[in-house]
Structure 1
């Protein structure tokens, strides 16, 4: 391993830093910060070594080349797709998403797909919409709004930012009726088209009131 790393100009300490960051966070996006850009570029120098290391753990890596992001999936998860019920997703690979977190991920995916169909995607593949639209979409798709409590809502959106699924919606802006949320294209790697279709079909089957 050391010889292979040395051939690519990467030290064992640098390799360890990259792997610890990936396994700890489960996701890495080049445009998130200067540090993540550095780690992503380091991965590009040694992709085979990283993936060989992860294969021993039966952890799979999804590389979204277009948007320069990496996301890890635990054993048993679909790639891309939602993890199976036994494993769950999370910053730690075994951390299960809560019910409200899963609900918001589904709503984000549905809204991203809508923006994609309408051509409302920027050059980075992101969709931006008002926070109010997410609340309305949650009511329409899942029959319930986003949490009303400030603490609960802050924690929910903070988790989405940690998963690199959204930008914006910082804690200070959640009480602002004019707040906007930017959905990252990585949302498509967590929710398959089949799951999305089932969700939309369920909405269409609901009786009109």
Structure 2
């Protein structure tokens, strides 16, 4: 019996067609992340995953790709070999972009600031029932200055691309192009941010800020 035939039989037993399985896997491998509350389509794919989690994870294991299922927030995120998954011991890097994601310097910087702001809100009890944090865009800009010594990009095109990337990674909501020039704009930080920056990396970042001399 071929692998494909065995897979098709297992899918049939769960009422999932090969085409539906293919759609789910292509979406996961292409985006590296799937959040149920992002859209009707992602809700459909997430619910499909719940019907066949073992088959999805077995398929990914052949590629040495691991899947982290955050059940509290109904999200899935893929990690390539060697990447660190929150709550699991694994070597190497503390900042992971998920499968196929290679972050630029400005993107890495913003992810670090988002993680720090999320942790701050968590300590202050400013997290809603979905694990999300609402943050003024101006506060994020100030946090970037305090933590990294520089503000968010001033150029509209550059800033649009940066926030678009954060939305693609399912790290934020809001901060759409129409609101980037609005000083009163708000964005929502998703709990998935904790899966990209480890506590160790965050502690280092905060420690560097504390070590800076007062001016």
Which TM-score tier does this pair reach, normalised by the shorter chain?
over 0.9
Q: For residue 204 of structure 1, what is the aligned residue in structure 2?
A: 210
Q: Deviations over 1:55-105 (max 9, x none)?
A: 0101110100000000001112111299956x9625xx2331000000000
Say if 1:77 and 1:26 are closer, same or farther in 2 by CA, change over 3 A: same
State TM-score, norm by structure 2. Answer: 0.92
The match for 2:167 among 145, 161, 165 is: 161
The match for 1:17 among 23, 26, 32 is: 23
Equivalent residues, number: 206
Q: Deviations over 1:28-79 (max 9, x none)?
A: 0000000000000000000000000000101110100000000001112111
Unpaired stretches in structure 2, ≥5 consecutive residues: 1-6
Q: For residue 127 of structure 1, what is the aligned residue in structure 2?
A: 133
Say if 1:119 and 1:128 are closer, same or farther in 2 by CA, change over 3 A: same
CA contact (8 A) 2:35 2:42 kept: yes
Q: Deviations over 1:151-183 (max 9, x none)?
A: 000000000000000000001100000000100
Unpaired stretches in structure 1, ≥5 consecutive residues: none
The match for 2:187 among 171, 181, 185 is: 181
Give the whole-Å Cα distance in 1 for the aligned partners of 2:100 and 2:182: 34
Give the whole-Å Cα distance in 2 for the aligned partners of 1:199 and 1:190: 14
Matches within 5 A, 1:7-156: 7-80=13-86, 89=97, 93-156=99-162
Give the whole-Å Cα distance in 1 for the aligned partners of 2:140 and 2:181: 14
CA contact (8 A) 2:96 2:196 kept: no
